[in-house]
Amino acid sequence: MKEIRYLATGLLLLTGVLHFVPLITNFSGEHSLPMAAFGIVYLGVAYLLYKNRAIGKFLGVLMPLVGMGAAVIQIGIPNWDLLLKVMVGIDVVVVVCCILLLNKRR
């Protein structure tokens, strides 16, 4: 289970950093600042997962789901670029990993 936790941590770190790319490439874009805020949250959740905190596992499920929902509602699937598709794909893997970690606890 440690490997799954480290995988989820690494992927959250990666997607957390990727959330800052729109801020750098298109600072005036309407979705740049909210994505950067999600990036900060993802980095915090990655830290909690790395430290093996229970709340990190719950947030590892909740926050990516919120992010994917925001991407669908605010941006719309037809408007997704490659970067957003990659981030959503990473989020799906993180959610599955964190669900496995939560089920292992029981």
pLDDT in tens, 61-98: 999 999 899 888 888 888 888 988 999 999 999 999 99
pLDDT tens digits, 19-56: 898 888 877 777 788 888 999 999 999 999 999 998 99
Query: Do residues 20 and 39 make contact, with C-beta atoms less than 8 angstroms apart?
Result: yes
The total number of structural domains that make up the chain = 1
Domain holding 60, by residue range, is 2-105
Dihedral of the CA atoms 99, 68, 11, 54 (nearest 10)? -40
Contact 31, 22 (CB under 8 A): yes
